Structure 1
């Protein structure tokens, strides 16, 4: 049996027994000396900071300082500036963690910030310079979050917010989460300004800060192929999990462990 085939078989066995796929680089971490970093959890569109509760509970239990600020969801540049201001108030090392659109935000907010020691993307966008959310979402087939799945509601002069329609919310966004929970998630969803779809990203922080990507294999919003593409070009540490787009809600233990490895 060739070395390559043995490696593939070993990887398949790991998926069968744990539901995860880890690259060797994802496991190779040197323990960090000194105080534990502050973990900053950034939510995406159609969600709020409560989506991180299962993950935050585990991180806090293990002694990590955690904050989960509100992401304004107004524009890539404005949201990144808002997060940049929050980061300026923190002392010591910081690990930035993002879900979905939040990845656009941390990619821009952390650029040039020497206090950020790692970027963690959980089923998240990881743009290069001049790329857009819509461009990345549709780069590979498989996303079901299209115009037909959204309700658009004006909130100002020429400004429009997008919401996921109730009839598709669970199936598209969170199909592995109990229906009672997704009903509440739909009712309280935070909309994103439609301008975020086409706004180009700036110089990405992942060019200078180590990055880690948790790929959600069953994602119906951001196809897994797109997540793998972005992770590979950034040279990120990668793991995969059998989860919907909201992997941090349906798989909080897996997500928390992945974040802790990035924080070491």
Structure 2
């Protein structure tokens, strides 16, 4: 990696775009710790971003637009093309942010919400705003099974302990743009997902230019990081 005037110059070194990893609800950038070295072994330079809406309750007013601004700020640090990998809820602010980011060359939705303009997670769930005692949604009671099935129990428990409350506002703010209409997109269906039904993923994946499948639960970046990195690279090389 070369730094030039505060910006990342990466493509000349690696021959591949930079890849920005965007986590889902309740998570943080820590969730990519296993995937990052696997991508590095495939020749990628990786960046991560922490979404303001997942902040252990310290910023319960942060919404999807705040997340989109954080993503866009990270994209603005990079000179050269960027591939964005968006997991689960992360697909929503990525869809918003990437629409106005000229350096995004590809979006990979990993069991992600590939929604259209005017959509939000609330509208996708029938218009009911999730309930919570504060402005945040607590970590799901069944997180180990729903989010981390297919992962060794001890590792799943460690991951659950790192989850934080998610702002309710992030689920209610609607998209004002849909980047996948102008940016090449791929959808990765997680076939054994117990959080986001695979059939629903398939329906969203029809909006993508190419669809892939992994025999994994909701979090293949933990359960099969090597195969996920290989798939990302295979798609780029194709």
Question: TM-score band (shorter)?
Answer: 0.7 to 0.9
Residue deviations 1:221-256, cap 9 Å, x none?
221112111111x24311112211112211212211
Match of 2:69 in 1: 81
Match of 1:26 in 2: none
Cα deviation for residue 63 of structure 1 reads 2.0
| Matches of 2:125 and 2:185, distance apart in 1 | 20
Match of 1:51 in 2: 31
User: What is the TM-score when the length of structure 2 is the normalising length?
Assistant: 0.83
Kindly indicate whether structure 1 or structure 2 has the higher relative contact order, using CA contacts under 8 Å at least 6 residues apart.
Answer: 1
Match of 2:57 in 1: none
Say what the alpha-carbon RMSD is for the aligned residues.
Answer: 2.3
Cα deviation for residue 137 of structure 1 reads 5.2
Figure out how many residues of one structure are paired with residues of the other and give that number.
Answer: 217
The range that moved more, 195-204 or 35-44, is 195-204
| Matches of 1:134 and 1:244, distance apart in 2 | 23
Cα deviation for residue 47 of structure 1 reads 1.4
Residue deviations 1:123-144, cap 9 Å, x none?
11111001111333569xxxxx
| Matches of 2:126 and 2:216, distance apart in 1 | 20
1:124 to 85, 88, 112: 112
Report the structure number with the largest CA radius of gyration: 1
Match of 2:230 in 1: 257
Does 2:163 align with 1:196? no
Residue deviations 1:189-242, cap 9 Å, x none?
03210112222112110001111111011222221112111111x243111122
Alignment of 1:51-200 (within 5 A): 51-73=31-53, 74-136=62-124, 152=132, 154=134, 160-166=135-141, 168-200=142-174
- Checking the alignment, whether the CA contact within 8 Å between 1:136 and 1:226 is kept in structure 2 is no
Consecutive unaligned residues in structure 2, runs of 5 or more:
1-10, 54-61
